[in-house]
Structure 1
Amino acid sequence: MPSRKEAGNSATTPDLPPLTGGPHRRRLGLISTIACLGGLLFGYDTGVANGAEGPMAQQLGLNLLQLGVVISSLVFAAAVGALVCGRLSDAIGRRRTILLLAVLFFVGTVFVVASPGGPEPGTHTTAGFSILVAGRVLLGLAVGGASTVVPVYLAELAPYEIRGSITGRNELAIVSGQLAAFVVNAILASLLGGQMDGVWRLMFAVCALPAVALFIGMLRMPESPRWLVEKGRYEEAAAVLRTVRNPERADAELREVERLTAEEATQDVAGWRAIVSNKWLLRIVLVGIGVSMTQQLTGINSIMYYGTRVLEESGMSAQQAVLANIAFGVVAVIGGLIALRNMDRLDRRKTFLIGLSLTTLCHCLVGVASMVLPAGHPLRPVVILILVVAFVFSMQTFLNIAVWVWLAEIFPLHMRGLGIGISVFFGWATNGLLALYFPSLVSGVGITGSFFIFAAIGAVALLFVYTQVPETRGRSLEALEEDVTTGAIYVVAPEDVKSVH
């Protein structure tokens, strides 16, 4: 195989008029803000369990396996939601799919909050448990759908020069949602934890507010212009582009999208058929699956779901762990802000490699610290907290945002929703397995064994990224599409391109 380049140059991004300021830039900012409410909901619904799971399990009398089912049901459903909604957005549009997701977020929240307990404190009924799990499944479908559709929607609306920072706003919204969940949990637990048995219901109920805001906001937002072109709705696409670009740039981009769409139409192959009939498309889907699974196998969401449990295992009291858990959300947001600033300045591959190196180092240090500082040592919880915070900060600064941006831009238009859906399906499935078994893992092998396992996986992930993941920064979606389809994205020099073609 030819050696890899840092940024593809086989099919250069076409010369386009420069970006200019004006109302269209503000319009793009508004659209991204509204759409990112989907990311905020994603973050809140995945983060709220970290703090709510204790009071919920206590009030309903859930054992570890039942608690794992409640937590992981959202994640496994998110895998299905990612795959189904990615394909659905290719069929009915990105905007309509996001509207549907807002409804799912709201209905799922109602189910969770309204799920009845048992006749006695600390008990539950089969029907109540079923309603609770059903609500988590609905929320999971919405979370999975948001994880695929919102980044694609933003990537297709953004100009390539700032696509990383625009698309990356969704991941910042996700961690902001998780931070909001941690803060709300801490406030409610401190104020009502000893006075109200159903405090966990209030923690979940907050999710209904942004769901309503997302639905109302998206009613006034436009459809993706690239999706409109693919469906032959050129006048509508032109009208949308002219609201988020200066006129000259809008016309130039529209011509390029129309040209590539017309070329694809002559091939009469799209979706699954295109993937199985083109070895380069199949390869990029497999690489996408690997990138998505790599993100989850760092264990980041195990910390975001069960951070309080890890801190309690390190020696903190339950109340100290809930309060200290806020630190994870704070550094995730700070790291996200740094990542957004660097997203259009650093290559995606470089950020992946830096991030995996740092997270693997943090895993090793947590494992060593938990060995050197035995249970009961006064420094043990402090040191482990600092190292886990460093892990979350490294993950958010160099990996999370870059992964979602890369997934949103790497797949060709005719299979973009499907491609990211397949990739994220495997990511969520991996996440689900970790969510289901992480409490048992920590209970069985402790913090030491758990983090050494994550470190070993991180070393393998570094090799995978270095050898398989191509660069996408600084290219238009149309130029990337041509190089991905022909395999030219994997070559290092212009003279190698001829051998690929």
Structure 2
Amino acid sequence: MSEEKVVRDDKVPLDSSTNDEVNQNAGHNLKHIASISTLGGLLFGVDTGVINGAIGYMATPQELNLSSSNEGLVTSGITLGAAFGAVLAGRLSDRIGRRRLLKYLSVLFFFYTLACAVAPNALLMIIFRALLGLAVGGASVIVPTYLSEISTPSIRGRLVTQNELMIVTGQLLAFIVNAILGNWFGHISHIWRYMIGFGMIPAVLLFFGMMIVPESPRWLVMVNKLDDALDALKRIRPRERDCKDEISQIQDTLNQESEIKQATFKDLTTPWIRRLVFIGIGLGVMQQFIGINIMMYYGTTILTEAGFAHNAALIANIGNGIVSVIATFIGMSIMNRVNRRSMLMSGIIGTTISLLLIVLISAFLSKSPLLPIYVVLCTMMFLGFFQGFISPLVWLLLSEIFPQNLRGLGMGVSTFFLWFANFLVGYFFPVLLSAVGMTWTFLIFVGFNILSFIFAYKCAPETRGKSLELIQMEFKYGDASGVKPEDK
């Protein structure tokens, strides 16, 4: 096919029953493809959540004999690798394609998960976890990109946020597997190797799944494979003439984007660009310093410190996973009905109160037999507010605040700092827990939550109901009122 724009050709209209059947088949195919590709998000969740139950077993002197510092590195090394994987994945996918990169990432998921499962010492475990993080970071960028490029505008938001749901589902699945293996086979000292090895199963499913899904039509148009792009669209769109129209629209958009001068680090000398990038970095760091991953990575450790037996803590931690999934569902359903700033600040108030309650309970009820129950209820409360109000909203804000010419720089830098902040939290939590105990450790995170609220109040923009162009104009010309156009 030539490089000229594809034009629609006239077709004989289908009767209504045929139209319904074609629309249904296209919609079914799109959901099926989305389910396969979001296995990358499921792997993200499994590989970050599995350590929650496995770390207690592998840290023992009979196994890897981890110090508190090594425990932090084993846990958070995956996020350090993810920071670099996220930065590299975007450019690499532009060269080889979204589908092919996801297939390659599934191979990395499989072999580095296997390497972690058989690691003979702490050093190799830390190295393999960091390398596994390359796949986690790559999936965190490419899966949403692929979903946004195969979806239609009417379902794009729901389809892309499905990846967030799959991440917390993966963490819940890891918690359930940990509880089953820990309670039924906990007498086996190396049971943690099977916990980690479970992650190879979704990696295999992702590899074979990516063999049957189409490549991103947008990428195929980018590399001038228009025939392939048309074939890909025919699988997920109801009518061929719609496919041809969409290819024309993609070509128009790519032509417009090619004329836009992309921002570079030199542009940070421009005050409004610098402010926007710093807000993006602040949102990413804030999301992590609120303390979500002390719950997702160390939930079992926290519950054990509170007084649960280890096997009971594994079971109780499933409750944390269930709350995360339910809260994510709720957050997805209300995020377009509530102002972003109000939702974000309400979430931070909720997480702050949850952590403060843990501080007070651990300080004044340390001898109470009900202490473990109080703590697990507080962790569930924390996760409900975070997963429902903060986590999906931060990713949504990051996708909204950067205009087209700034998106590559802004998202790349913000995501890197988000993952690096994740690493710092994951590394220092067990060190703090060992050094100052649970009460003071959680009090430190209460302080981070207060700082996060101040940042959100002063810096988080209101983007609901605003076009990307209007958001850019407000940052450029100083309209930071946070009032929607229709409210003015």
Q: Do both share a fold (TM > 0.5)?
A: yes
Q: Could you say which residue in structure 2 is the equivalent of 1:189?
A: 182
Rate the CA distance shift 1:481–1:131 in 2: closer, same or farther, 3 A.
farther
Deviates most, 243-252 or 341-350: 243-252
Amino acid at match of 1:182: F
Q: Distance in 2 between matches of 1:282 and 1:226?
A: 30
Q: Could you say which residue in structure 1 is the equivalent of 2:131?
A: 138
Amino acid at match of 2:414: S
Q: Is 1:480 the counterpart of 2:484 in the alignment?
A: no
Rate the CA distance shift 1:342–1:264 in 2: closer, same or farther, 3 A.
same
Q: Could you say which residue in structure 2 is the equivalent of 1:8?
A: none
Query: Can you list the C-alpha shifts for 1:434-460, whole angstroms capped at 9, x where unaligned?
Result: 111101212333333222322222233
Amino acid at match of 1:213: L
Rate the CA distance shift 1:241–1:294 in 2: closer, same or farther, 3 A.
farther
Q: Distance in 2 between matches of 1:343 and 1:254?
A: 31
Query: Can you list the C-alpha shifts for 1:5-39, whole angstroms capped at 9, x where unaligned?
Result: xxxxxxxxxxxxxxx95333222212221111011
Structural mapping, 1:158-307, within 5 Å:
158-194=151-187, 196-231=188-223, 233=225, 236-237=228-229, 239-241=231-233, 243-247=235-239, 254-267=247-260, 269-270=261-262, 272=264, 276=268, 281-307=273-299
Q: CA deviation at 1:231?
A: 4.5
Counterpart secondary structure, 2:424: helix
Q: CA deviation at 1:188?
A: 0.6
Amino acid at match of 1:272: T
Which of 422, 428, 431 is residue 422 of structure 2 equivalent to? 431
Rate the CA distance shift 1:419–1:85 in 2: closer, same or farther, 3 A.
farther
Q: CA deviation at 1:255?
A: 5.0
Q: Is 1:336 the counterpart of 2:328 in the alignment?
A: yes
Q: Distance in 2 between matches of 1:161 and 1:348?
A: 20
What is the root-mean-square deviation in Å for CA atoms of aligned residues?
Answer: 3.2
Rate the CA distance shift 1:449–1:421 in 2: closer, same or farther, 3 A.
same
Counterpart contact for 1:352–1:402, Cα < 8 Å: yes
Amino acid at match of 1:150: V
Q: Could you say which residue in structure 2 is the equivalent of 1:402?
A: 393
Q: Could you say which residue in structure 2 is the equivalent of 1:65?
A: 69
Rate the CA distance shift 1:170–1:417 in 2: closer, same or farther, 3 A.
farther
Q: Distance in 1 between matches of 2:477 and 2:318?
A: 41
Q: Distance in 1 between matches of 2:386 and 2:437?
A: 22
Q: Distance in 2 between matches of 1:491 and 1:296?
A: 28
Rate the CA distance shift 1:172–1:274 in 2: closer, same or farther, 3 A.
farther
Q: Distance in 2 between matches of 1:223 and 1:416?
A: 23
Q: Could you say which residue in structure 1 is the equivalent of 2:13?
A: none
Q: Could you say which residue in structure 2 is the equivalent of 1:40?
A: 42
Q: CA deviation at 1:214?
A: 0.8
Which of 142, 145, 149 is residue 152 of structure 1 equivalent to? 145
Counterpart contact for 2:38–2:162, Cα < 8 Å: yes
Which of 311, 318, 341 is residue 303 of structure 2 equivalent to? 311
* TM-score scaled by length of structure 2: 0.84
Rate the CA distance shift 1:293–1:366 in 2: closer, same or farther, 3 A.
same
Query: Can you list the C-alpha shifts for 1:59-118, whole angstroms capped at 9, x where unaligned?
Result: 2222222222222211211111111223323443322222221111011012112223xx
Counterpart contact for 1:411–1:481, Cα < 8 Å: no
Rate the CA distance shift 1:138–1:300 in 2: closer, same or farther, 3 A.
same
Q: Could you say which residue in structure 1 is the equivalent of 2:97?
A: 93
Rate the CA distance shift 1:471–1:260 in 2: closer, same or farther, 3 A.
farther
Q: For CA contacts below 8 A with separation 6 or more, give which structure has more relative contact order.
A: 1
Identity of aligned residues (%): 40
Q: Distance in 1 between matches of 2:304 and 2:156?
A: 40
Q: Could you say which residue in structure 2 is the equivalent of 1:103?
A: 107
Counterpart contact for 2:117–2:193, Cα < 8 Å: yes
Which of 372, 375, 381 is residue 381 of structure 1 equivalent to? 372
Q: Could you say which residue in structure 2 is the equivalent of 1:446?
A: 437
- Runs (4 or more) in structure 1 with deviation over 6 Å come to none
Q: Distance in 1 between matches of 2:217 and 2:283?
A: 27
Q: CA deviation at 1:347?
A: 4.5
Query: Can you list the C-alpha shifts for 1:401-420, whole angstroms capped at 9, x where unaligned?
Result: 23334434554566656543
Q: Distance in 2 between matches of 1:264 and 1:275?
A: 18
Q: Could you say which residue in structure 1 is the equivalent of 2:349?
A: 357
Rate the CA distance shift 1:486–1:366 in 2: closer, same or farther, 3 A.
closer
Deviates most, 21-30 or 145-154: 21-30
Counterpart contact for 1:155–1:408, Cα < 8 Å: no
Query: Can you list the C-alpha shifts for 1:352-396, whole angstroms capped at 9, x where unaligned?
Result: 2332221122122222222331x2212222112111111011111
Rate the CA distance shift 1:356–1:230 in 2: closer, same or farther, 3 A.
farther
Structure 1 stretches of 5 or more lacking a match? Answer: 1-19, 117-127
Counterpart contact for 1:178–1:329, Cα < 8 Å: yes
Amino acid at match of 2:116: V
Q: CA deviation at 1:251?
A: 5.9
Query: Can you list the C-alpha shifts for 1:177-214, whole angstroms capped at 9, x where unaligned?
Result: 111111111111111111x2211110011111111111
Deviates most, 340-349 or 317-326: 340-349
Counterpart contact for 2:276–2:475, Cα < 8 Å: no
Counterpart secondary structure, 2:189: coil
Q: Distance in 2 between matches of 1:88 and 1:176?
A: 28
Q: CA deviation at 1:297?
A: 1.0
Counterpart contact for 2:272–2:476, Cα < 8 Å: no
Query: Can you list the C-alpha shifts for 1:145-204, whole angstroms capped at 9, x where unaligned?
Result: 11222122223333344333211111111111111111111111111111x221111001
Amino acid at match of 1:205: G
Counterpart secondary structure, 2:206: helix
Counterpart secondary structure, 1:325: helix
Counterpart contact for 1:480–1:489, Cα < 8 Å: no
